[in-house]
Amino acid sequence: MHASITLFAEVALCSDSKLFLDHLLADGYTDVRFIDAMTNNIDDENLERMLREEQAPDIIGCTAITPSIYKAESTMALAKRLHPNAVTVLG
């Protein structure tokens, strides 16, 4: 299976994130890109540019803690606007 997944974090990676990525790779997802917008101070303009560069991802996921939920929602809305056929997951 070849699938493209783009993951965004509005918070830094937690220990479960590596386990999650390991499972994706084990399940055959060979094209996984992780963008940590908060840690790397990626502003909205650059995040949009990065999303535009993605080649038709199958799944776009975003994680957020309660204080950043609105930012995460707007990130996912942008992702869906740019890649309407991608499954979006917020959690």
Q: Provide the residue-wise pLDDT of the chain in tens; the chain has 91 residues.
A: 445 555 655 444 444 566 677 777 787 777 777 787 877 888 889 989 998 988 888 888 887 778 888 888 888 899 999 999 988 888 7
What tokens were used for 57? 């991802």
pLDDT at 6: 59
In terms of Cβ atoms closer than 10 Å to its own Cβ (0-12, 13-18, 19+), residue 33 is middle
pLDDT at 42: 86
Residue with tokens 């999650």: 20
Alpha helices in the chain (DSSP H): 15-26, 44-53, 69-82
Report yes or no: 6 and 54 within 8 Å, Cβ to Cβ. yes
What tokens were used for 30? 């060979």
Contacts of 23 (CB under 8 A, 6+ apart): none
pLDDT at 18: 66
